Structure 1
Amino acid sequence: MRWSVLLLGVMLGATGLPPTAQAAPAATEVTRAALDPALVAGRGATVAFTEQEAEGAATNGTVIGPDRTAYTLPAEASGRSAVTLDPGEWVEFTLPRAANAITVRYSIPDAPDGGGITAPLTVGTKHGTRTMTLTSQYSWLYNQYPFTNDPRADLLHPDWWITECQCVPAATTPAPVITKPFRPAHFYDEQRLLLGHTYRAGDRIRLTARSVPTTVDLLDSELVALPKVDLTGVNPVLFGADPTGRKDSAAAIERAIAYAKKIKRTVYLPPGVFQVNRHIVVDDVTIAGAGNWYTILRGREVALTEPAPDGSVHTGVGFYGRDAAEGGSRNVHLSGFAIQGDVRERIDTDQVNGVGGAMSDSTIDGLHIQHTKVGLWFDGPMSNVEVTNNIIVDQIADGLNFHTGVTNSLVRNNFVRNTGDDALAMWAEKHTNAGNTFDRNTVQSPTLANGIAIYGGRDATVSNNLVADPVREGSALHAGTRFGAEPFTGFLRFTNNTTARSGTFELNWRIGLGAIWFYSLQGSFDADVRVTGDHYLDSTYNAIMLVAEWGVKDLYSIDGIRFKDIRIDGTGTSVLSARAGGSASFENVDARNVGAAGVNNCGRFGFPATGSEFGLTDLGGNDGGWLAPYLPNTITCDDRPPVVAPPAPSEW
């Protein structure tokens, strides 16, 4: 296999259009999360762009994948497949509708010593060519959590158990040899480009690699509207802000905010690039841009002279509400601009997020957030925030996290791709979360952890979301009593979600997870938990997993989970894997293309003569023959059943 297939990335280039003699499909298929849009109708975010996979386009490069093995380029690609181009090779997309802008998701190689490189990408159209300058400065992480940018680094935690050698290196003689770079990951990045012309459906966009091997994952094309103009708003340029990006504009924006609050007007950020290298604290103010393609706040990550009280050692671009301990902020409304950070390593104590702090009675709408640590990290207590219609990409950690006492808040119609941790999370640490909803969001390719994760709290709803291609140590949908979270109380609802190519391999346990998985580590599930109307498509291992940590499996249970009106199309192993004590009921759960036993029931691994410690209840209508042979608690424990790859999902 070529080096470019193993470790490289994408560089887009075009030196012109292909000769007519070269075979090419008449049109490049339009997909959503690499699926036929008909399979996910009504699920996920409604977005302005159209997504097309490189492996479905015309190319003289090499299609890589499909492959779901962690630490490989295909595994982190949308649909688990992409196209690798050597210099001079191309991939060409036929536009399905009018467009004047594109986004390219790509990967190019790291520098030999880490830190990334840049490389040109040619974008060819009927009006000529343009050059994108691609970078790998925000990708390529290595080693153990929380990772490093240095491909030559020794183990960050030599006393940790290493799955690759099933050992603790510090306690093993002779010490095992760990291949370097160890566990390369987070390969992809993306870039946007306004094309300068409007192209019609049927026109072609050719991307040609020029100087380094380049892997192209996909192309998003979009017809971007003209910039919004607000002549009544307070313009920070009049207060000294520099729209060319050469001077730091933070202080000027703060002066504009102060004046706008005084006269009760909106702050209008006009088209331009504004350099901002620290947090701007906001309270009782509306800040609106000309649109996230036109108004860009871009900042460097800046080392602090001494650590901040919260432990941060860096600052960077971001809008923050006041600290909850100071009463938080209220009535903050942010819309219509982009935040581009400069975060290249994960430092968990750093507050270098796009939006942060506590913001009650507030809205965040229509932002594009890239290269920050977490797109939006809220530290409550706080209530009534709405996060809608945002694009959150290429984060070093989470996409969004409701952390600590966030209540009665909504996250709807957001698109999240390539996060380095949970894409969307509710984490009820210290103060419980309550009454929150994640609805109609799309999550693609989280490289670590889960697509959507709920850690404790009361009355949480996860509905109508589309989650695809989680890579490792997590899956698409998750609820866990872990990370010191407050207990689950009231109700927890997973309703009408669709997952695709989920159910990853858990590297520490060395078992396959479920597309949806419940995990009991620090307590039992005592809430009213119902999973209704979900569709689990092409699950790598199980569709559903209920698991307790080994050390507490006899203390905690996962009891009374109710599954209803579920469709499961394709599992590598089972429909249900139970590795805990407790029970679940099933009604109208239909399954087809199941790779192993319908139920893998290990219970608490006590294997009493009376049957498994996990009980199953059939409430009727469960088609596909997956459940009946295993009622009510038949022991069918296969710790690591062989995987049978299912066929591609199709309409039910």
Structure 2
Amino acid sequence: MSSPRRAGRVIVTAVLLSGLVAAPAHASPTPTPVTRAGIDPALTAGRGADVPFLEQEAERAATSGTVIGPSRDAYTLPAEASGRSAVSLAPGQWVEFTLPRAADAITVRYSIPDAPGGGGITAPLTVTVNGRDARTMTLTSEYSWLYNQYPFTNDPGADLLHPDWWITECGCVPAATTPAPVITKPFRPSHFYDEQRLRLDRVYRAGDRVRLTAPTGTRAAWTVIDLLDSELAGPPRVLTRAANVLAFGADPTGRRDAAPAIERAIAFARKVRVPVYLPPGTFQVNRHIIVDDVTIEGAGTWHTIVKGRQVALDPPAPDGSVHTGVGFYGADGGSRNVRLAHFAIEGDVRERIDTDQVNGVGGAMSDSVIEHLHIRHTKVGLWFDGPMTRMRVLNNMIVDQIADGLNFHTGVTDSVVRNNVVRNSGDDALAMWSETTANARNVIDRNTVQTPVLANGIAVYGGTDNTVSGNLVADPIREGSALHAGSRFGAEPFAGTLRFTGNTTVRAGTFELNWRVGLGALWLYALESDIDSGVRASGNHFLDSTYNAVMLVSDWPVKDLYSISDVVVSDTRVDGTGTSVISARVAGSLTVTDVDARNVGAVGVNNCGSFGFPPSGSEFTILDGGGNDGGWLAPWMLPNTITCDDRPPVVPPPPPSPWGGQR
């Protein structure tokens, strides 16, 4: 979740060129490498989601196009690419992947230009295997390309949405500045990428070559390919003892509204105690389906699609929504014993309106399971408003959201989010927000998060005894980081122990626009209250951090009010930082034990405290628990030597590499 703040053909050319690296056409003599989060899978072993597909980066494939990147500069196409590089194809150019194992289905992550006035275009992409079996994939930018300040706009020509906000581009508040600054339009383009899935005509073998070609007749001046996922979709799942929605009049072609038939099937299934079955097909649903004490299962995410249009509401709903759309929601007062599984939800959300309830799954559901769903083009994949308890969110694919991937909001307890993939979220990928009532004893475990466009990979805002463990988080892009704990957004204070355990972050840490400093891969932020109940960060690997590995900070207006203390970082590996291992811009304390670091760009510790700079040393104390290797923690830095250099030159580290032994 971001704090309040957020491009046609002419405008995107400059965006595309940022980080462009000339790359001659080549045909790779070796197979396209398999990666996880854009790096060698051996470096992420045991962390992140166990998935049925294999990921291959376009910049490592054979191509006649041009590699763009690497670059981490926000508002550019390379920065939002997995691994921070991609391949740009002019009409007639191609990129070719060698399948690493048998597959009959592919997912392409791509970007094409916006329409000159916004709103997107469509363009073809030709898919061939071994030079034959041509298929056409239709790409679109209708769900991409947002501009301007929070909550953003689809209009590349829009003036500032908030001229009374301070912006870094002029270092001013434009409405209060004479003469008024000239703000380049489009202002802050972002959210460039989308994904498209395609079933191939048959199963292809390992070693077969999948070529993606931007045809000469395409209306897209360029087509950027980021990555290819390949997998075996498998046959449809069949449920025989179930309320098949076809028997209740549902249209599997997607031409007629299926919502009433699905609701009739739900009513029947609850009465006779059987699940509802969504067989192969596309089912049109343009509003919420209310679920309580029912199981709804599909034939698999490649076979069953529940798809809807966004519908304007006149008048708005009592909750402030001005649109509705496809979604499965808990009943008023909360539902229980719900299971949603094995189907895809495809929404039609093209703009961010925070009051809209246009999420893939929403409301409150206790003692429930959401598993094996593929959710895209909704506002938030799953937004749960408590109170609710014992929810399990397992094995889902959540992509191309305008806002969060998942959010536990207010009073969610004893729940688990495990083995999910979230890619291209428009805000926090996975979040727990304890607004008004604390979230407690929840676990976010073994998930993979890639390229959250705004804010954080995994964020915890207040709450009691929550755990973030075993996750793989890569490439946060703007105003956030990989792992975050913040006393922000009116959240209840932290209580008990917050644990970050056994996570791996990759290329994490972004440039904070207001402070004009880089954030840590793990970022602790005391804005509205102290963080002092206990944070334990152990067994984490911070790989190729853009700035620093761990940052503790308070905002300038409250720097003498709030502190961060009782933090222990232990059993940790830091492989590459652009600046420091630890950056402290707050009062408080930290204990470091068995923290090994190498390829540190600047001094190991940036200790500014709360910027009082007293003769006795920094207001922030670092305690050496022993076993800290790599020379990053020199004795003279302890316990509170002021080593304040917030903006040292960033030294890009070498790529991460294996580290002897495992932690």
TM-score of the pair, normalised by structure 2:
0.95
How far 1:26 moved relative to its partner? 2.0
Give structure 1 regions of 4+ aligned residues with deviation exceeding 3 angstroms.
2-9
Q: Which amino acid aligns with 2:322?
A: V
Q: Secondary structure at the match of 2:59?
A: helix
Q: Which amino acid aligns with 2:490?
A: G
1:422 maps to which residue?
428
Contact 1:5 1:64 survives alignment (8 Å): no
How far 1:551 moved relative to its partner? 1.0
How far 1:24 moved relative to its partner? 2.0
* Separation of aligned partners in 2, 1:617 and 1:174: 50
2:65 maps to which residue?
61
For 1:179, which of 161, 184, 189 is the aligned residue? 184
1:598 maps to which residue?
604
For 1:432, which of 425, 438, 446 is the aligned residue? 438
How far 1:265 moved relative to its partner? 0.4
2:43 maps to which residue?
39
2:542 maps to which residue?
536
Contact 1:102 1:195 survives alignment (8 Å): yes
Q: Which amino acid aligns with 1:200?
A: R
* Separation of aligned partners in 1, 2:27 and 2:314: 59
Q: Secondary structure at the match of 1:29?
A: coil
- List runs of 5+ in structure 1 lacking aligned partners: 10-20
2:148 maps to which residue?
143
Q: Which amino acid aligns with 1:295?
A: T
Contact 2:11 2:186 survives alignment (8 Å): no
1:377 maps to which residue?
383
2:575 maps to which residue?
569
1:27 matched to 2:31? yes
Q: Which amino acid aligns with 1:173?
A: T
1:110 maps to which residue?
114
* 1:386-421 C-alpha deviation (Å, 9 max, x unpaired): 000000000000000000000000000000000000
2:210 maps to which residue?
205
How far 1:314 moved relative to its partner? 0.5
* Separation of aligned partners in 2, 1:23 and 1:98: 21
For 1:167, which of 153, 169, 172 is the aligned residue? 172
* Separation of aligned partners in 2, 1:556 and 1:22: 56
1:98 matched to 2:102? yes
* Separation of aligned partners in 2, 1:220 and 1:6: 29
How far 1:529 moved relative to its partner? 1.1
1:154 matched to 2:163? no
* Separation of aligned partners in 2, 1:365 and 1:448: 26
Q: Which amino acid aligns with 2:278?
A: L
How far 1:508 moved relative to its partner? 1.6
Contact 1:4 1:214 survives alignment (8 Å): no
Contact 2:16 2:76 survives alignment (8 Å): no
1:358 matched to 2:364? yes
Number of aligned residues: 638
Query: What does residue range 291-440 of structure 1 map to in structure 2 within 5 Å?
Result: 291-323=300-332, 326=333, 328-440=334-446
How far 1:4 moved relative to its partner? 6.8
1:269 matched to 2:278? yes
Query: What does residue range 245-264 of structure 1 map to in structure 2 within 5 Å?
Result: 245-264=254-273
* Separation of aligned partners in 2, 1:569 and 1:8: 30
* Separation of aligned partners in 1, 2:394 and 2:192: 28
Point out the more displaced range, 230-239 or 114-123: 230-239
Q: Which amino acid aligns with 2:147?
A: Y
* Separation of aligned partners in 2, 1:232 and 1:165: 65
1:130 matched to 2:138? no
* Separation of aligned partners in 2, 1:391 and 1:6: 32
Q: Which amino acid aligns with 1:549?
A: D
- List runs of 5+ in structure 2 lacking aligned partners: 1-9, 18-24
Contact 1:421 1:449 survives alignment (8 Å): yes
How far 1:8 moved relative to its partner? 5.8
How far 1:25 moved relative to its partner? 3.1
* Separation of aligned partners in 2, 1:475 and 1:146: 19
* Separation of aligned partners in 1, 2:232 and 2:246: 28
Contact 1:5 1:73 survives alignment (8 Å): no
Contact 1:8 1:214 survives alignment (8 Å): no
Q: Secondary structure at the match of 2:261?
A: helix
* Separation of aligned partners in 1, 2:342 and 2:14: 38
1:89 matched to 2:93? yes
Q: Secondary structure at the match of 2:118?
A: coil
For 2:290, which of 281, 290, 297 is the aligned residue? 281
* Separation of aligned partners in 1, 2:385 and 2:42: 38
* 1:18-40 C-alpha deviation (Å, 9 max, x unpaired): xxx96323200000000100000
Q: Secondary structure at the match of 2:484?
A: strand
1:556 maps to which residue?
562
Q: Which amino acid aligns with 1:601?
A: N
* 1:27-71 C-alpha deviation (Å, 9 max, x unpaired): 000000001000000000000000000000000100000000000
Q: Which amino acid aligns with 2:602?
A: A
Point out the more displaced range, 108-117 or 120-129: 120-129
Q: Secondary structure at the match of 2:207?
A: coil
How far 1:322 moved relative to its partner? 1.4
Contact 1:8 1:109 survives alignment (8 Å): no
Contact 2:26 2:63 survives alignment (8 Å): no
1:446 maps to which residue?
452
How far 1:639 moved relative to its partner? 2.3
* 1:75-108 C-alpha deviation (Å, 9 max, x unpaired): 0000000000000000000000000000000000
For 1:290, which of 289, 296, 299 is the aligned residue? 299
User: Cα distance 1:315–1:3, how it changes in 2: closer, same or farther (>3 A)?
Assistant: closer
2:3 maps to which residue?
none
Contact 1:256 1:267 survives alignment (8 Å): yes
1:76 matched to 2:85? no
* Separation of aligned partners in 1, 2:550 and 2:30: 40
Contact 1:8 1:107 survives alignment (8 Å): no
Q: Which amino acid aligns with 1:134?
A: L
* Separation of aligned partners in 2, 1:23 and 1:297: 40
* Separation of aligned partners in 2, 1:562 and 1:389: 31
Q: Secondary structure at the match of 1:253?
A: helix
* 1:325-362 C-alpha deviation (Å, 9 max, x unpaired): x2x10000000000000000000000100000000000
Taking only the aligned residue pairs, the percentage that are identical comes to: 74
2:504 maps to which residue?
498
* Separation of aligned partners in 2, 1:342 and 1:306: 20
Contact 1:269 1:288 survives alignment (8 Å): yes
Q: Which amino acid aligns with 1:641?
A: P
For 2:490, which of 467, 475, 484 is the aligned residue? 484
2:531 maps to which residue?
525
Query: What is the root-mean-square deviation in Å for CA atoms of aligned residues?
Result: 1.3
* Separation of aligned partners in 2, 1:102 and 1:40: 23
How far 1:151 moved relative to its partner? 0.3
* Separation of aligned partners in 1, 2:125 and 2:329: 35
* Separation of aligned partners in 1, 2:246 and 2:523: 50
* 1:124-159 C-alpha deviation (Å, 9 max, x unpaired): 113420000100000000000000000010000011
Contact 1:72 1:185 survives alignment (8 Å): yes
User: Cα distance 1:7–1:604, how it changes in 2: closer, same or farther (>3 A)?
Assistant: closer
Q: Which amino acid aligns with 1:401?
A: N
Q: Secondary structure at the match of 1:367?
A: strand
Q: Which amino acid aligns with 1:357?
A: G
* Separation of aligned partners in 2, 1:560 and 1:104: 45
1:634 matched to 2:641? yes
Q: Which amino acid aligns with 2:405?
A: G
Q: Secondary structure at the match of 1:230?
A: coil
Q: Which amino acid aligns with 1:120?
A: P
